[in-house]
Amino acid sequence: MKPTRTSPPDRAPLLAFGAHPDDIEFGCGGVIARETRAGRAAHFVICSRGEAATHGTPAQRGREARRAAALLGATVEFIELDGDAHLEIRAAHAIKLAAVIRRVRPGVVLVPSVVENQHPDHAKLGRMVRDAARLARYGGLKELRRAKPHAIGQLFFYAVAPEAEPADLAKVLIDVSAPEIMAAWTAAMEAHASQMPTRNYVELQVARARVHGLRAGVGHAIPLFANDALVFDSLATLGRAARQF
């Protein structure tokens, strides 16, 4: 499916990938809420039904994901790869993900980080989406010839848990302190009610955002990690730094 929201011409859609139905909301839901409320279209691609989880059926988790996406102002689709906890890195999967990128034509792509010490599906999906973003540019790839090549603007990794935050990539902090953003993000996380018996994921994510925010001099902030160096037209377009000199 295609995103239904219309973005201003200078704001290409945001495309977020998740290995499981709750990854995007827990890892970067506040960022999504901030972007959609500023007028940017957002689309989620979820690569399993969460069928290996201890709690929640695939049908239940699908309903939760659709509700959470709606609360964040995003559209959502599910694609079939290898299934929850069975994901393998395959060229065919990267090409399938590249086809999604060509269809949605995003400016920014968000995907779980490639840090190994986390659910293995997260790191594997991060690597394949990183590959897919390159493949989406290649006009001669026969499997993708039905859609025009597309080059994204930026690829950012998000971390579902603190352990998944890359230590070797540039960190970009997104201020999500506004009450309406925090409310939408919290509601989207709470929509995944089937996962709450495992641990208090909402409190964990809000507390992590609070720590990042305090370090940056704001209420709450969510870290993203740039795959490539960021390019600015001039120093005038730079935001403030986290460190207060």
Position with higher pLDDT, 157 vs 51: 157
Confidence at residue 11, expressed as pLDDT on a 0 to 100 scale = 81
Contact present, 71 and 187 (Cβ < 8 Å): yes
pLDDT at site 244: 60
Model confidence at 7: pLDDT above 60: no
Mean pLDDT of the chain: 93
| Mean pLDDT, residues 226-245 taken together | 85
Instruction: Report, at the CATH architecture level, how domain 14-225 is classified.
Output: 3-Layer(aba) Sandwich (3.40)
Q: How many CB atoms lie within 10 A of CB 160?
A: 24
pLDDT, position 239: 83
| Residue 9 pLDDT greater than 80, yes or no | no
pLDDT tens-place string over residues 18-36: 999 999 999 999 999 999 9
pLDDT score for 150: 98
Q: What pTM did the predictor assign?
A: 0.93
The whole-number pLDDT of residue 10 equals 54
Please give the order of strands across the beta sheet that includes 14-18: 75-78, 42-46, 14-18, 108-112, 154-158, 221-226, 171-175
Distance, in Å, from the CA atom of 241 to the CA atom of 118, rounded to the nearest integer, reads 29
At residue 38, the pLDDT reads 96
Report how far residue 112's alpha carbon sits from residue 99's, in angstroms, rounded to the nearest whole number. Answer: 19
